[in-house]
A and B are shown apart, each in its own frame.
Chain A
Amino acid sequence: MKNNARHLMLSALAMLSLAGCGKPPEPSASTPTPASSPGSSPAAAAAAPAEEKKLNIFCWSEYIPQDVIDAFTKETGIQVSVENYASNEEMLAKLLAGGGSYDLIQPSEYAIEGLIAENLLIPIDHALIPNIKNIAPEFLNMSFDPGNKYTVPYMAGTVGIVVNTDLVKDEITSFNDVFQDKYKKNIVVLDDAREIVTWAMLSQGIPVNEVSDANLEKVKPTVAKWVQLVKVYDSDSPKTALLNGDVALGVVWGGEGALLLNADKKFKWVMPKEGTHLFIDSLAIPKIAKHPTNAQQFMNFILRPDISVKMSDAFPYLNPNAAARPLLTKEQQENPASFPSAEEIAKMQTFKDIGGQATKVDELVTSLKAQ
């Protein structure tokens, strides 16, 4: 038997070493200097200036329209490959595991904070990204990246309430109006523990980033009551349950709300009067990037007004590009789920990284849901 085991191990080792040889050694280029090309393939060396014409994007699913990517390739000749993720944590885990080779990532504000703190991003060169001037000032110089040293805003958005006015006749103005006994099992919410806890905190006037144990204890009864009223938890496509008439009320992403408003006039968008959560997804270049110049070229490209319009057409979130807004249709500009008013935005709060408290938030919501 011992002999068998040894054979097994040897053949496994052989396989492993073969697998290891499969990957050609890659140049460890992290700066956009021409000196980094000799190590790479001859084709790349032949292709003029610094980098081979490639760009690996690691981004949210359903966020960068294919026609934007195609237009970029057409203009620059840079071949783009895209890999998707469904949450910031998924992206961080892959990045930290060191598996992929990504040139561009699309983190949200709290993830950027962590990435900068851990020194995992390459500073951007504003000389290469002049189009950043198109971004409205309220989306620049944010607390998670002062001076935009590492990131450019991609899209922003918010969370709000959608009301099916055919089924709900009462005036809905707040989270507390949504979570009433008479709407029991008639509500869809995002399947996201931190979001749910945030709404409960807002309804009690607690700032959204003060996720202390004491505050979690304070909102627990509210969350307990709310989860009993919810029928559907869905972060990917909360609009489905509303569109099919299975629920009358929803607390959903602004982009989803905008699509519902476009689909049917019976849907109404409400910004909760307690305030809500504003998210800003940005583009950043991880330290492991092999094509940082191409990445910055892409950043500059999507900040162009004509390209930004394509992004809004496909995914009607809050477009931070002030130069692109006049190019949108009147209907797009007036969609309250896409573009909240300035005073509504002033009331919104962005998420900060809450570290290990995320685990407690998840346990709180799961335990109440499981009851």
Chain B
Amino acid sequence: MAGITAATADNLGASAYKRRPSWVAWLVFAPLAAWLILFVIVPTLTLVALSFGEQRGLGTVEFTFTLENYQRAFNWTWLKVFWTSIWYALLTTGICMVIGYPVAYYIGRSPENMRNMLLTLVMIPFWTSFLIRTYAWITILSKEGLINSFLVAARIVPEPITILYTPFAAVLGLVYNYLPFMILPIYTSVERLDNAMIEAAYDLGARPVRAFSQIIIPLTSPGIVAGALLVFVPSIAMFAITNLMGGGDPPTIGEVIYKQFTSGRAQPFGAALGTLLLLIFIITLWIGRRRSEE
């Protein structure tokens, strides 16, 4: 560690803040930087560059710097597809919040020796691939599946009801898969919650509802915002779950982008849709950040 400061001694004159890290620091930082460049920056730039190209023949792309792909994207068809995905993601985020908050609060307020066990229970489904868990849902929800067999056997319904291959099933699949992403950050906030604040609220005459809405929610809001982002952003682009459980109808943006790169034979157009999706993510993150700064 001494090496880091020693090598920058010549800069110390101005201000301690302006210290330049030495080559050792860069060496430590290099793997992360390389990782970011290779797996984040380069692919993103490739995607953006691709969106200004034109596809030729069997699948080669020529960079013509055309805006045509973006012009094509601002069409009712694709905007509706975007909206379907955003709507699914909003629903998923809302439902995850309503279910996840009480769960996270309960875990965060339970005795310390219980917490780890409860958290492990939340995480256990993640030990299995999400595709396998999604297929399990198919056998639960299908017309000859667990739920329908029970409902019919118990004479609650005369014949099997349709659950699978509906927007309801698609959102159910999303909620199921992303719920832990809501629970964990809220749990972190709840765990750090200062009991004295809540007690003070009660001492000053606040009823439980008021204490919750004016003290507990604001204090745990960083967790809520983080959870909302962690659920909303991946839900928009997810198409494996919505296709398998929703039956692929209506189409979602992730699926449509995937098809542009395959059977649609329009990689540059797919890249343009991908870039627009990226913009939605950036805007979401920006809103989320402003919210947590407030």
Contact = CB atoms under 8 A, between A and B. Distances in A.
A362 B248 contact: no
Contacts of B243: 191, 233-234
A329 interface: no
A366 B261 CA distance: 14
Interface string B169-180: 000000000000
Interface stretch (B53-61, B116-124, B286-294): B53-61
Contacts of B256: 366
Interface string A80-97: 000000110110110010
Q: How large is the interface on A (under 10, 10 to 19, 20 to 34, 35 or more residues)?
A: 35 or more
A157 B23 CA distance: 62
Given A245-B143, A245-B160, A3 B20 contact: yes
Contacts of A218: none
A96 B262 contact: no
A62 interface: no
Given A230-B249, A366-B77, A369-B250, A11 B266 contact: no
Contacts of A233: 243, 247-249
Given A92-B58, A355-B57, A363 B267 contact: no
Contact of A191 (B165, B248, B261, B266): B248
Contacts of B247: 231-234, 241
Interface string B78-90: 0011001000000
B26 A363 contact: no
A362 B269 CA distance: 12
B164 A93 contact: no
Secondary structure of the A contact surface, majority rule: helix
Interface string B227-264: 00000000000000001000111110000100111111
Contacts of B20: 3
Interface in B134-157: 138-139, 142-145
Q: How large is the interface on B (under 10, 10 to 19, 20 to 34, 35 or more residues)?
A: 35 or more
A336 interface: no
Contacts of A87: 262-263
A359 B164 CA distance: 30
A156 to B, nearest CB: 20
B34 interface: yes
A346 interface: no
A65 to B, nearest CB: 22
B241 to A, nearest CB: 14
A111 to B, nearest CB: 8
A217 interface: no
A356 B145 contact: no
A230 B38 CA distance: 42
Nearest to A11: B30
Interface string B97-121: 0000000000000000000000000
15 contacts: A11-B33, A15-B37, A92-B58, A114-B57, A114-B58, A115-B58, A194-B263, A232-B165, A232-B248, A246-B142, A356-B55, A359-B55, A359-B266, A366-B251, A370-B80
Interface of A: 3, 7-8, 11-12, 14-16, 86-87, 89-90, 92-93, 96, 111, 114-115, 118, 185, 191-194, 227, 230-234, 240-241, 244-246, 355-356, 358-359, 362-363, 366-367, 369-371
